[in-house]
Amino acid sequence: MRKTVLFFPALLLLAVSSIGAASPRTVFEQSGGAASADYDEVLAFYRALVDEYPGRACLREHGTTDAGEPLVVIYLSIDGCDPLPAKGGERLRLLVMNGIHPGEPAGVTASQLFARDVLAEPGRSGLDAVDIAIIAAYNIGGMRNRGHPTRANQDGPAAYGFRGNAQNYDLNRDFIKADSRNAMNFARLLHAVDPDLFIDTHTTNGADYQHRITLLATQADQLGGRLGAYWRDRFMPMLDDRMAEEGEAAVPYVNVFGDDPGEGWTQFLDTPRYSTGFAALFQVPGIVSETHMLKPFEQRVEAQRTFLLESLGLLAQRGEELRGHRLVDRQDWQTRDALPISWAVDEQADPAMVDFLGYVSEQVDSPFGEGEKRRVFDRSRPSRRSVPFRNRYKPVAMIGRPAAWVVPGGWFRVIERLEANQVRMIEIENPIEVEAEIGRIEEVESLDSPWEGHFHHRLVSVSQQPVTRVTLQPGDRMIPSGQPAVRYLAAVLSPTAPDSFFRWNFFDSILGRKEYFSSYLFEAHALEMLASDDDLRTEFEVKKEYEPDFAASRSAQLRWLYARSRFAEPAYRRYPVMRLPEWPEGLPERVSTAP
C-alpha cells in the first residue's frame, strides 16, 4: 500500500504546521516554513533524533573537512547503525548528500524531515528494506559563512550559507581532483557505504517553469552496460510516475540558459568532476535533485522531501534489480578490452519526449548594451508541451585496457587519491624491468584564467612511443586493470580524458624543461650532429625551406637540434604514467577482481 505521509502541494500548509507536532522539530517548522537552520542547529536536530530513536539512528564522523570540522553522517537502519558502513549483509543502501552548496538549503531541511519520517514509520517508508546514510551538510565552511545575500535569483529563505567552501572551492567541481579534504573523505565514504542509489540535493537556476523540482539523473550511456539501460528505461520512469502520483510532477534537469525551454533541451552530461559522474565510475547511479529557485522556500523543501521519500520507496521495491545490474556490470567492466573515456551527444538518435509544464516566453529589448535581448516568462500564461529531450550520448574516445598501469612513487598526490578510492596497487619493492607503453604530451592548450584553483587543460594531444623496456623502482605502484575501480582508473590516468589528473594539472611539472644549453657552446655540437646524420640534416633543411620564421631564427634552429640531441632530458613532456601491455613475470599474482 502506498504511503499516506503528507506530500501533496495542496497539503503544504498542513505539512508545515501539523507535522510540527512531531519530535524533534526543525527550525523550518518552528519558523512556519520561512527559515533554514544554521549548521549547529542542523547537528542539534540530528542529535535529538538519535536520542528519540536509539538503535535506529546514530551519528558518525568521517574525517575532517577543510573547515577543520568533521564530516558528520547520520545512519538510519532498523538493524542498528554500526554495520552499515562496513557493507555487511544484503540490505540495500541509500546515500544522501546535502549542503554541498549551502546557499541551496532546501535539501538540508528536507533531509531532516525525511529522516524523521522514515524513523517514525520504517515499514511504510522503506527503512525496513534500505539502510540510509545522510551527509548532514557537506560544505561546513559554506554553512558557517551564513547570511550573505549571494543568491540573486532565489526566493528565500531569510538566511543561508555560501557556495564556496573554507578554501573557496565549489565542491561540486572537486570530486575527481579532490583538492579539498571534503572530497577525499567523501570518496572514502562512498566506498565504505557502496550505495545502490546516491542522491545530491540542490536548488537550480536558469529558466522559469511550473515544475518545483527537476531531476539530473546520471547519464545512462555514460553509466553503461545493463545498469545504464535499466536506469534510463525502467528505474527513472518509475520514479517519475511515483512523483506524478504524489502531485509533484518532475522533469529532467532543464539544461537551458537564455533559450526557450519549450523548444526542448539536451541532457546535462555529468562528467566525473561532479558528484553523480564521479559515483558512476563505480557503478553507483545518482540523481541531483534540483528544486526551482523561484518557488517559495517552503515549497522547495516539500518537493525535496517528496522526492526523497519516493526514491526510498522505489529503491525498497526495485532496488534488488538495480543492485543486480550494478554487480554484473562491475564484473563486466574489469574484462572489457576497450574503455570509453569521453562522450558527446548522439545527434542521430531520436530524442525522448518530455511532458513539460512551462510558461509562454518572449525575447524583449534589454536596457543594457546595444541590440541585446532578454527572455521574459509570463506566469499568467502557463503552457504544457511535449518537448524533445536529447538524452542519448555516444563514446567519442576509447582506450584499450592495459594489463596494468604504473604510477612512479614520486607522484604521491596521485597515489593518495588512488588510495582514497580503494584502488588496488602493488608497491614495487625491488627494481624490475618491464615492457611499457609510454606517451608523450605533444600539444596542450589551457584556460586563460584559473578555474577552481587550476588552469584546466582544455586541449591535450598525446603521441604513443614504441613499447620500451624500463626499470621500475622501489615505491612505484603497479595497478592491475582487472579490478572494480577500472573505469575510475581510465578516467584519471588517461591524459586525454575530460577530467583526467593530467588535465587538472597534477603532472604540469613535465611540461617545462629542467636543463638548458648555452648557444655559444652547443652550436659546435649542432654542426657535428648535422654532419654525421643524413636523415637529421634532410629533415632540418626541409623545415627551413617550408618555415621562413624557423629559417630566420638561430635560437629556434638550435632549440630544435637540442631537442634531438643526446643531451635532451628524457622526462620533458613524457607522461609519467606507464601502461603495461602484459603482466610482468616476477611480480605477485594479479589481485582479486571480486567487487
Per-residue model confidence (pLDDT) at position 1: 34
Tens of pLDDT, residue by residue over 158-195, are 899 999 999 999 999 999 999 999 999 999 999 999 99
Radius of gyration, alpha carbons of the chain: 27
Tens of pLDDT, residue by residue over 269-285, are 999 999 999 999 999 99
224 against 588, higher pLDDT: 224
Averaged confidence pLDDT in the chain:
93
Query: For residue 396, what is its C-alpha cell?
Result: 567519442
Tens of pLDDT, residue by residue over 408-455, are 999 999 999 999 999 999 999 999 999 999 999 999 999 999 999 999
Tens of pLDDT, residue by residue over 484-527, are 999 999 999 999 999 999 999 999 999 999 988 899 899 999 99
Sign for the CA dihedral angle at 449, 454, 455, 456 comes to negative
Tens of pLDDT, residue by residue over 386-406, are 999 999 999 999 999 999 999
Burial class of residue 121 (count of CB atoms within 10 Å of its CB; 0-12, 13-18, 19+): middle
Per-residue model confidence (pLDDT) at position 23: 83
**Using 50, 70 and 90 to split pLDDT, how confident is the model at 80?**
confident
Tens of pLDDT, residue by residue over 229-256, are 999 999 999 999 999 999 999 999 999 9
> Range(s) for CATH 3.40.630 in the chain?
9-198+273-331
Q: What is the pTM of this model?
A: 0.92
Burial class of residue 212 (count of CB atoms within 10 Å of its CB; 0-12, 13-18, 19+): buried
Per-residue model confidence (pLDDT) at position 587: 75
DSSP characters over 385-405? EEEEEE--EEEEEEEEPPSEE
Say if CB 488 and CB 191 are below 8 A apart: no
Stretch 37-41: mean pLDDT:
98
Say if CB 107 and CB 201 are below 8 A apart: yes
Per-residue model confidence (pLDDT) at position 148: 66
Residue 550: how many other CB atoms lie within 10 Å: 15
**Using 50, 70 and 90 to split pLDDT, how confident is the model at 567?**
very high
**By percentage, how much of the chain surpasses pLDDT 90?**
86
Check whether 17 has a pLDDT greater than 70.
no
Check whether 19 has a pLDDT greater than 90.
no
What's the gap between Cα 489 and its chain centre?
A: 14
Range 14-23 contact pairs with CB under 8 angstroms and sequence separation of 24 or more: 15/302, 15/305, 16/298, 19/113, 22/116, 22/120, 23/48, 23/52
Comparing C-alpha atoms, which of 12, 107, 502 is closest to residue 301?
A: 107
Per-residue model confidence (pLDDT) at position 594: 33
Per-residue model confidence (pLDDT) at position 89: 64
Bridge partners of 445, per DSSP, are 459
Per-residue model confidence (pLDDT) at position 506: 99
Residues 6+ apart with CB under 8 A from 162: 102, 103, 142, 145, 146, 148, 150
Bridge partners of 454, per DSSP, are 451
Per-residue model confidence (pLDDT) at position 593: 34
**Using 50, 70 and 90 to split pLDDT, how confident is the model at 589?**
low
**Using 50, 70 and 90 to split pLDDT, how confident is the model at 156?**
confident
Per-residue model confidence (pLDDT) at position 221: 98
Per-residue model confidence (pLDDT) at position 591: 44
CATH topology of domain 9-198+273-331: Aminopeptidase (3.40.630)
Range 24-29 contact pairs with CB under 8 angstroms and sequence separation of 24 or more: 24/48, 24/49, 24/52, 24/116, 26/109, 26/112, 26/113, 27/109, 28/109, 28/112, 28/113, 28/298, 28/301
Tens of pLDDT, residue by residue over 323-356, are 999 999 999 999 999 999 999 999 999 999 999 9
